[in-house]
Amino acid sequence: MRFCLLIMAKSPVPGQVKTRLCPPLSAEEAADVAAAALLDTISAALDTPGAVPVVALAGVVRREDVRDALAGCVVVPQRGVSFAERLVHAHADIARFRMPVLQIGMDTPQVTPSLLESCAEFGEAALGPALDGGWWALGLRDPSRAAVLRDVPMSRADTGALTLEALRGLEVRTLPALSDVDTMADARAVARQVPDSRFAAALARAAAVTR
């Protein structure tokens, strides 16, 4: 099955990404960890059978490794002020592909091609809960249905429940729960799950410097 794998991403610029990791990390170290998470996510997306990887990007990419990875994806700019607005616009922008969409972020570098492929199997919708009460993945047969996200408050402990309520009327498949990376505790837990990843290596380098 062909589907659009939409990744919401922010360019890993020091001081603008993963600021909740600072301290103990510096802004530069947090940006390196964010870049590694994005690279791992893009790699998984590119290797996912049936996926058409699209990155909705905020900011200007200054890192050569990230630019090289993005070359294998369709890249669209994020539009909107709030994150909810940017989500709605990103889904609208990929509607032209006329295929179901599975949307994720760059905060779950532990995703694998097999997990993403299995998560793309849904009827009308799918929602992957995050352990902090939010969500890490949203699947929609019709991307225009993402318009309901406009009034959903993001980055709260009840965002997942409120998103599910906004999708009322659709048959929603519940996807596996994952931890996304917001805090150092999250980062360490995710790194333990994928010890051979770029993410785990970047976090280990940063941790070695901050000791």
Residue 208 has pLDDT above 80, yes or no: no
Condensed to tens digits (0 to 9), the pLDDT of residues 78-108 reads 999 999 999 999 999 999 899 999 999 999 9
- Going from the N-terminus, what domains does the chain have, and what CATH number goes with each? 3-210 (3.90.550.10)
* Per-residue pLDDT band at 194 (split at 50, 70, 90): very high
Condensed to tens digits (0 to 9), the pLDDT of residues 141-159 reads 999 999 999 999 998 999 9
Q: Is residue 24 reached through a cis peptide bond, with omega within 30 degrees of 0 on the bond before it?
A: yes
3-state secondary structure string across 8-51: EEECCCCCCCCHHHCCCCCHHHHHHHHHHHHHHHHHHHHCCCCE
User: For residue 77, which phi and psi values (nearest 5 degrees)?
Assistant: -75, 145
